[in-house]
Chain A
Amino acid sequence: MDSIAYKGETFTFILNWFIHMGATLVLWTAVYTSGGEVEGYSLQELIAYYVLVLFVAMITEVYVADDIPNEIKNGEISAWFIRPIGIKMLYLMDAIGNKLVMLLIQMPIFLMGFIIAWLVIFEGEMLPLASVGGLLASGLIAVLAFLLAYLMDMIISACAFWIDKTWSLVHFKNFGILLLGGVSFPLDFATGSFRTFLEILPYKFFYYVPVSYLNGRRDIAEYLLEDMLLLLVWMIIFYLSMTLIWRAGVKKYGAFGG
């Protein structure tokens, strides 16, 4: 209901993405002026990459850490300790519900933009997209990355038991994802030890890996199992961290009100 009620916000969210993408693509167009390819990407393939980032973002983005810290700060969280469903589960269900509705609203707009881009930029030529297998692999990684993002947000939220303003940690998460997740540039452009560093971190699962399966640059037979294992390891680490931090936070928590 929220998503439908705030149609303007949804529209602005998409508009923001397109404006950001516009600013980045103007620069890349200048980079490609001399012609050729950058790390195997033509300009058209790079544009397709950024469009697919937008598509993957619709699945992997989570904004739980904007609300829970306020509940902790205001003492409203107390009520959740005596309810049969915990706040963590409630927010997960809420995030999933929101996501499904947002997908229904955003997907037609995205598809419209995608078709326009296809006709204007690619002049109706075949798009660099993967097989059905790539689509499924991408979807699977994106769904798990959504859960990973949720766990990350819950860890940030739990910090509100100690820190008054957790917005700074949200920024931390955002610039980490922007820089290390493949939003600013495809991680193929990073070289040497920086690339190795990016491969170990969990951020690549939010954008780069799902997009790479979608555009067929990541071979399923070679990488899927490895990606799944690493993703599961990070999910376990994040889940254990979240549980420990929440437990410690609840012990420290002093409820307000009578």
Chain B
Amino acid sequence: MVLSEVKKYIRIYLAFIRFSLADMANYKVNSFIGIIVDLGWNLTLIVFFWVIYGQVQEVAGWDYHEILFLNGVIIVISQANLALSYVFSLHRLPRKILRGELDHILVKPINSQFMLTVGPPYLAGFIGMITGFYLMWYGFQSGGFSFSFENFLLGSLMSICGFLVLYCLYVIIVSLAFVMDNRDAITGLANSFISFRNNPEGVYSGALRKFFLVIFPVILMGSIPARAFLYGLPMIEIVAYLTLTLVFIVFTKFYWDYMIRYYASASS
């Protein structure tokens, strides 16, 4: 039963990929410009830190090589989010709610959260990940870090956790569109809050650190995976972050099911 459900969703997702490939083929110029834009946004992050490190040697315990690596991790997670859920799904959701376009999706025998928040992938977004991988490699090499397979696995696991928490936070914030009139501004608000992940974790202390680690865990979307890749993590932190990710996934599921009840169709 479960297996057949999984197969069903895999088949749907393969159809989504075919749709995205067709979209890319139809809008070649747009896709190309989209890739350049992604690279441009990544560049703004890199140049910002480049300028800062032109003035100081270290920020909150992170040197230039570590920051390059951190930026790389952030870009990879961010591009994965853009490609898998944001561009074609979460970004468009508030407008779809406003126009009452969810009716035909809600009547289908498919999970609404899957259809509306995962949806077709934005394939061009994966290309932007190259910048992130390059920065990770460059920061690692130039910083003279030694490779450890264990840290590599741990960093990858924490990056997946960071990606999942990022997805959950977007779903939680964007779902506010079900109950708020100010729908278009919601995605902008989500992006603004999430921009706090760009800073190295050391800049947050006291209550602010607790907030960004537990309540709104942006630190898990950059600094924690970067630290895991470079230095590894103590077991207690690994367990804590895995638990936190699981809590966010379960909470998001219940939250989505609750919020969607407020959807008011626009049809007569």
Contacts and interface: CB of A to CB of B under 8 A. Distances in A.
Interface of A: 6, 8-9, 12-13, 15-16, 19-20, 22-23, 26-27, 29-31, 33-34, 38-39, 163-165, 168-169, 171-172, 175-176, 178-179, 184-185, 189-191
Nearest to B218: A23
Interface in B132-184: 180-182, 184
23 contacts: A8-B181, A9-B185, A12-B185, A16-B185, A16-B192, A19-B193, A20-B195, A23-B192, A23-B196, A23-B199, A27-B198, A30-B60, A30-B202, A31-B52, A31-B55, A33-B60, A172-B33, A172-B40, A175-B41, A179-B44, A184-B48, A185-B52, A189-B55
* 3 closest A-B pairs by CB: A12-B185, A8-B182, A19-B192
A167 to B, nearest CB: 9
Given A8-B185, A30-B199, 17 more contacts: A8-B181, A12-B188, A16-B189, A19-B193, A23-B195, A29-B203, A30-B59, A31-B55, A164-B27, A169-B33, A172-B40, A175-B37, A178-B44, A184-B47, A184-B48, A185-B48, A189-B55
Contacts of B33: 163, 168-169, 172
Nearest to A32: B56
Nearest to A184: B48
Given A26-B203, A179-B43, A179-B44, A31 B56 contact: yes
Interface of B: 27, 29-30, 33-34, 36-37, 40-41, 43-44, 47-48, 51-52, 54-56, 59-60, 180-182, 184-186, 188-189, 192-193, 195-196, 198-200, 202-204, 208
Contacts of A15: 189, 192
B56 A38 contact: yes
Contacts of A184: 44, 47-48, 51
A165 B185 CA distance: 20
B195 to A, nearest CB: 5
A184 B196 CA distance: 14
A22 B44 CA distance: 18
Q: Which of A165, A168, A184 has the largest count of B CB atoms less than 10 A from its CB?
A: A168
B48 A168 contact: no
A13 B181 CA distance: 15
A134 B229 CA distance: 50
A12 B189 contact: yes
Contacts of B198: 23, 27
Given A23-B195, A26-B203, A189-B55, A179 B47 contact: yes
B189 A165 contact: no
A158 to B, nearest CB: 15
A22 B51 CA distance: 19
B185 A190 contact: no
A71 to B, nearest CB: 18
Given A8-B181, A9-B182, A30-B60, A165 B202 contact: no
Given A19-B195, A31-B52, A164 B41 contact: no
Contacts of A168: 30, 33-34, 36-37
B28 to A, nearest CB: 11
Nearest to B44: A179
Contacts of A164: 27, 30
Contacts of A171: 37, 40-41
A82 to B, nearest CB: 31
Nearest to B49: A27
